[in-house]
Structure 1
Amino acid sequence: MAQRVETRDDGAAKTPPRPLWFLLTAWVLTLAGLGISIYMTISHFDKDSLVCSSGKTLDCHAVTSSKYSELLGIPVPILGLAFFVGFAVLVSPQALRSELPLLRWGRLASVSVGVLFVAYLMSAEFVLGKICTWCTAVHGITILLFVLVLFDEFRRIGQID
């Protein structure tokens, strides 16, 4: 069985178009993560604005005010905000249409770092013995974006840059 590969004018393989569900899912997840990150950034500086249940295990206030709520003096919600703003640029229609490998590798690198950061933050919640529901939502979104970007990379298998 032969596979037909379309080529560009310069002879390189042409990347097949992304399915619509990929684009919609990427944007919905990115905007949801951006919205939660904006809310968490506001609540980092205004503790009274954080709406979250408090209990034995679920306690956003304990997590967001712990020593793990900052990394090198930078509030974690600001790092999340920067991640989602940057990722929104990387999944913009112009960036997704671009054949530049830098943008493709930027998407993969950013979600890989995001997943590693999620692992760090989940371990911090484990050490604290507390879970933040807002944080968990961002963790889930980041993991789903990672899976989505991996899907996009596997879709490109057989293509040459």
Structure 2
Amino acid sequence: MKTTASKNKFLLLALLTTLIAVGVHTYLTQHYYALKFGGAEGGSVCNINEVMNCDAVTASKYSAFLGVPMAMWGVVTNIVLLYFLAVTRFNMVQDRAKTSRYALLISGITVLASVVMGLISTTMSNLCIFCLSAYALSIIGFIGIWMGAEDVSASNLMNDIKDIFVTERWVGGFLIAIPAFAFLANIMYLESHGFSEIEKVAKEKIAYWQASPQQNFDLSAGLSLQKGSGEPVMTIVEFADFRCPHCKHAAPSLHAFTQSHPDVKLLFKPFPLDGTCNEAITGGGDGISCGLASAVMCAEKMSQKGWATHDYFFENQMEVIQAQNLDKNLEDASKAVGLSADELKACVKDPGTQELIRKMANEGKTAQIQGTPTVFVNGKLLSGGQLIPILEAAYRSLK
């Protein structure tokens, strides 16, 4: 009895870690889809710095296997493992010992996948804390199952595997269910959100992009971001307005894609939907969008905090819109990113700053921008360029 009680404690530990793993993988799955398809409200909660950046990892080519997010594989596999652990721990099967060994085998699969993904992580310049947590949870769970399993031996495990094809076909059914449900869940998501034809759409977008007229942008004006130091193979120019909801959703995807590709450069150019500083907009304006654009350029000029200010305005877009007061927005942004509010306000009102915004907005007007966000790649309009699959298709065509 003491032995059984002790094993139950280890199985309970494995149950808890597996349950947490399901939660972690579920979050990563949701964020994968949001980031890939332009639905993210902002950066991941586990974005800490340029290295510890979950968004960059999510945007990499290693974030999916056979078109299905790695996180989705993790969700389904851990749910199946959770079932095997529960029926073992609470004695809901006739052969507890054999079922505990099947749980060990499934757990071994999660550990193997974690080791492979961990090795891949060492080749990348970015790391994901939640991913690393999932790897650690799989190892802890495996140890718990190992300690809680009964009659574990190489011969027993080999016989158990053989029995899957003879007397224990129900186990084989669960194993087949892992890829079946992973593919099904992925298809259901893509179809329900209108992305089931994304590969076909991407090909069409690339064809239009390649045939588009070349635009000449001033690459020295705007906010620049590039992970690597070499000559970029792909230069993305984004025109956006800080009070545009679609621009808010585009920002995380564009940043993540750029950060996961060292030979890609992102250049952000403000295109305020405000006639105060943008000749392309008729009917005047309240000057707030123009001021926000100026604030970002000033923050970069003052202390290289342009991107921090850019992110602040998008992440707090609703508050920025509701404030309807430029000075309050500037004061709030100054506190958030660590700037002098007075110096920021003075820079925003400087004629030189205002002229810079007009110049960049005029570049958008010349390129005949119809709305925001608008994305150009290597000087040519890329429709849908805020979506990572389309950016990835363009990148592949250039490589």
Question: For the superposition of Structure 1 and Structure 2, which TM-score range results when normalised by the shorter chain?
Answer: 0.7 to 0.9
Partner Cα distance (2:77, 2:109) in 1 = 10
- Report the equivalent of 2:84: 90
- Report the equivalent of 1:136: 132
For 1:66, which of 36, 60, 70 is the aligned residue?
A: 60
Q: How far is the alpha carbon of 1:104 from its aligned partner?
A: 2.4
Please say if residues 101 and 152 of structure 2, whose CA atoms lie closer than 8 Å, have aligned partners that are also in contact.
Answer: no
Structure 2 residue 117 is matched with structure 1 residue 124: no
Task: Point out the structure with the larger strand share.
Answer: 2
- Report the equivalent of 2:185: none
For 2:103, which of 107, 119, 128 is the aligned residue?
A: 107
**Structure with bigger gyration radius:** 2
Partner Cα distance (2:79, 2:152) in 1 = 28
- Report the equivalent of 2:32: 44
TM-score normalised according to structure 1 size: 0.78
Structure 2 residue 15 is matched with structure 1 residue 35: no
- Greater relative contact order, per chain length (Cα 8 Å cut-off, separation 6+): 1
Structure 2 residue runs of 5 or longer lacking an equivalent are: 157-399
Q: How far is the alpha carbon of 1:27 from its aligned partner?
A: 2.3
Q: How far is the alpha carbon of 1:120 from its aligned partner?
A: 1.0
- Report the equivalent of 1:10: none
Q: How far is the alpha carbon of 1:128 from its aligned partner?
A: 1.0
Partner Cα distance (2:61, 2:5) in 1 = 42
- Report the equivalent of 1:17: 4
DSSP 3-state at the match of 1:27: helix
Partner Cα distance (1:30, 1:114) in 2 = 10
Structure 2 residue 79 is matched with structure 1 residue 80: no
Q: How far is the alpha carbon of 1:105 from its aligned partner?
A: 2.8
- Alignment-mate amino acid for residue 143 of structure 2: V
DSSP 3-state at the match of 2:25: helix
Partner Cα distance (1:25, 1:65) in 2 = 33
Q: How far is the alpha carbon of 1:69 from its aligned partner?
A: 0.4
- Alignment-mate amino acid for residue 38 of structure 1: T
Percent identity of equivalent pairs:
21
Deviating runs (4+, > 3 A) in structure 1? 155-158
Partner Cα distance (2:115, 2:144) in 1 = 18
Q: How far is the alpha carbon of 1:74 from its aligned partner?
A: 1.4
> What are the superposed Cα offsets for residues 98-136 of structure 1, whole Å, 9 maximum, x if unpaired?
325552232111111111100111112111122100001
Of 135-144 and 55-64, the range deviating more from structure 2: 55-64
Structure 1 residue runs of 5 or longer lacking an equivalent are: 1-5, 7-15
DSSP 3-state at the match of 1:146: helix
CA spacing shift, 1:146–1:23, aligned 2, 3 Å? closer
- Alignment-mate amino acid for residue 112 of structure 2: L
Q: How far is the alpha carbon of 1:24 from its aligned partner?
A: 3.1
Partner Cα distance (1:121, 1:150) in 2 = 22
Partner Cα distance (1:18, 1:112) in 2 = 23
DSSP 3-state at the match of 2:123: helix
Of 132-141 and 42-51, the range deviating more from structure 2: 42-51
Q: How far is the alpha carbon of 1:26 from its aligned partner?
A: 2.0
Of 70-79 and 42-51, the range deviating more from structure 2: 42-51
